[in-house]
Structure 1
Amino acid sequence: MTTLIKNSNLTAEIKHFGAELISLKTNHDREYIWEGNPVFWGKHAPVLFPIVGTLKNNSFHYNAMEYHLSRHGFARDMEFELINATENSAVFSLHSSEETLKVYPFEFELQIIYTLNENNLSIAYKVSNNGNTAMPFSIGAHPAFALPNQFESYAIAFEKEEPLKYYLLEDDLISNKTKKLDVLNKYIPLTYELFENDALIFKTLKSNSLTILENKNPILKIHFDDFPSLGIWTKINAAFICIEPWFGYSDTNESSENLFEKEGIQILETKETFQSKYSIEIL
């Protein structure tokens, strides 16, 4: 099942399974979200919760028990409930359940709120701790933007001049190895060679937005004001680029497997609520 929201400029379609954005079109019918071709990658814009990336041994310990969580968590593979919808907005909800408590022993509600406003789609996250103990979690976005032309005709522009050091993955975990991106006037030309070792992972950034350029023309801007970390990723020979604002990232090999000690983790006290949002602006 999907829900369609629209305004005079844009139309967005959200799948209830995973509350996943699967389409964002202009009124000129240009599609900005990756088609989800499973030959390369069968998703469009999954929500990453309650972890981002991979845990060491895909597990963590809590109260002398071992729990197993797969890469990027379970929210992207669960059915959300549509709890409110207007012509230009939709609110989806996922609650902890007997199924989630087996792998993540914390009571929560995750709401994802999609809102269209002029040329912008806002995607807001609201995480509530409904339990009686503090709750460790990460949350992140994973939108894949369609690149219909030759991949090398695209570039990414960072909002601010800054040294762009990213961390390399080894067996899906963050290593101590880093590389620096060559940046010319805040621009990075896209090449598949950049992603031969998987995603570019930035633990911290000064920039609060990135712009995708097509043949040097800005086409789309991703705003992520309060997200501390970011991933950029594609599959070799695939016609998309993922721009991924995150609260958290994969474990390192030195991880204690205690979520409360995990790098980048958020700790939400009982009965408290975490809120954040990012937005996609069509230029």
Structure 2
Amino acid sequence: MITTIKNSILTAEIKHFGAELISLKTNLNKEYIWEGNPNFWGKHSPILFPIVGTLKNNSFHHNGMEYHLSRHGFARDMEFELINTTENSATFSIQSSDETLKVYPFEFELQLIYTLDKNNLSIAYKVINKGKYTMPFAIGAHPAFALPNQFENYSIAFEKEEPLEYYLLEDDLISNNTKQLEVHNKQIPLTYELFENDALIFKALQSNSLTILENEIPILRVHFKDFPSLGIWTKMNAPFLCIEPWFGYSDTNENSGNLLEKESVQILKADETFHSKFSIEIL
């Protein structure tokens, strides 16, 4: 099933499977979300929960038991329930079940709230610990933006002047090796060579937004003030760019396997609720 929300400027479509944003168009029918061509990457904007990235050996231990979680977790592969909708907003929910407890032994509810306001789409996350014990988790976004013209016509601009040191992945885990992006006037031209070693992973940024420009003209901006970390990714020769605000990232080889000790993990006490949101502004 697909739910559509709209206002006088934008129309968004959200697939109930994964509560995944699959389209964001202007009233002039210009599409900003990647089409999901499986020849490159068959997703559009998956939700990453209860982990972001990859666990060492795809596993963790808790209370003497070992559990296995695949890359980016299971929420993106679950059917969400639509629990509230208006013309310009929609709220989706999943809850822990016998199946999720086999791989992630914590009781939770996850809500995604999509809201259109003028030329902005906000995507809010709400994580509720419904169990009796402390709950470790990570959560992140993975929207892919369509870049239909020549990739080198595009650039990205960070909100602030800052040293842009990113971490390299090795076998899907974060290594201790870093590189620094060369920035000119806060802008970085896009080339596929930037992504030869997979995603660019920033553990911490001062910038609260990132802008995509086409031929020096800004076309959209992602605002992620609430999120401490960021991934930027594409596939070789693919006509899209993912801008991924995160709470959390992949393990390193030094990880103990205890989620409660994981670098960048979020901790919710019993009955506590976590809130965050990011937004996509069409320029």
**Is 1:139 aligned to residue 139 of structure 2?**
yes
**Which residue of 1 is the match for residue 160 of structure 2?**
160
**Which residue of 1 is the match for residue 196 of structure 2?**
196
Local SS of the residue matching 2:99: helix
Q: Distance in 1 between matches of 2:50 and 2:204?
A: 20
User: Which residues in structure 2 correspond to 1:249-264 (within 5 Å)?
Assistant: 249-264=249-264
**Which residue of 1 is the match for residue 57 of structure 2?**
57
Task: Report the alpha carbon displacement of residue 69 of structure 1 after superposing the two structures with TM.
Answer: 0.2
**Which residue of 2 is the match for residue 91 of structure 1?**
91
Q: Distance in 2 between matches of 1:124 and 1:6?
A: 17
- One-letter amino acid matched to 1:278: F
- One-letter amino acid matched to 1:270: A
**Which residue of 1 is the match for residue 121 of structure 2?**
121
Local SS of the residue matching 1:270: coil
- One-letter amino acid matched to 1:165: E
- One-letter amino acid matched to 1:28: L
Local SS of the residue matching 1:101: helix
Task: Report the alpha carbon displacement of residue 207 of structure 1 after superposing the two structures with TM.
Answer: 0.1
User: Which residues in structure 2 correspond to 1:243-254 (within 5 Å)?
Assistant: 243-254=243-254
- One-letter amino acid matched to 1:160: K
**Which residue of 2 is the match for residue 47 of structure 1?**
47
Q: Distance in 2 between matches of 1:143 and 1:107?
A: 27
Spell out, residue by residue over 1:101-133, the C-alpha distance to the aligned partner (whole angstroms, 9 max, x if none).
000000000000000000000000000000000
Query: What TM-score, normalized by structure 1, do the two folds share?
Result: 1.00
- One-letter amino acid matched to 2:254: E
- One-letter amino acid matched to 1:228: P
Aligned residues: 283
**Which residue of 2 is the match for residue 169 of structure 1?**
169
Spell out, residue by residue over 1:220-247, the C-alpha distance to the aligned partner (whole angstroms, 9 max, x if none).
0000011000000000000000000000
User: Which residues in structure 2 correspond to 1:71-110 (within 5 Å)?
Assistant: 71-110=71-110
Q: Distance in 2 between matches of 1:58 and 1:77?
A: 17
Q: Distance in 2 between matches of 1:30 and 1:161?
A: 31
Local SS of the residue matching 1:260: helix
Q: Distance in 2 between matches of 1:269 and 1:230?
A: 25
Local SS of the residue matching 2:177: strand
Identity of matched residues, %? 81
Local SS of the residue matching 2:57: helix
Q: Distance in 1 between matches of 2:92 and 2:194?
A: 35
Local SS of the residue matching 2:193: helix
* Structure 1 segments unaligned to the other structure (5+ residues): none
Q: Distance in 2 between matches of 1:148 and 1:132?
A: 49
**Which residue of 1 is the match for residue 270 of structure 2?**
270
Spell out, residue by residue over 1:154-192, the C-alpha distance to the aligned partner (whole angstroms, 9 max, x if none).
000000000000000000000000000000010000000
Task: Report the alpha carbon displacement of residue 278 of structure 1 after superposing the two structures with TM.
Answer: 0.1
Q: Distance in 2 between matches of 1:28 and 1:190?
A: 26
Q: Distance in 2 between matches of 1:62 and 1:107?
A: 14
**Is 1:183 aligned to residue 183 of structure 2?**
yes
**Which residue of 2 is the match for residue 240 of structure 1?**
240
* Structure 2 segments unaligned to the other structure (5+ residues): none
Q: Distance in 1 between matches of 2:164 and 2:117?
A: 32
Task: Report the alpha carbon displacement of residue 3 of structure 1 after superposing the two structures with TM.
Answer: 0.2
Task: Report the alpha carbon displacement of residue 219 of structure 1 after superposing the two structures with TM.
Answer: 0.3
- One-letter amino acid matched to 1:172: D
**Which residue of 2 is the match for residue 225 of structure 1?**
225
Q: Distance in 2 between matches of 1:259 and 1:85?
A: 35
Q: Distance in 2 between matches of 1:133 and 1:188?
A: 44
What value does the CA root-mean-square deviation take over the aligned residues? 0.3
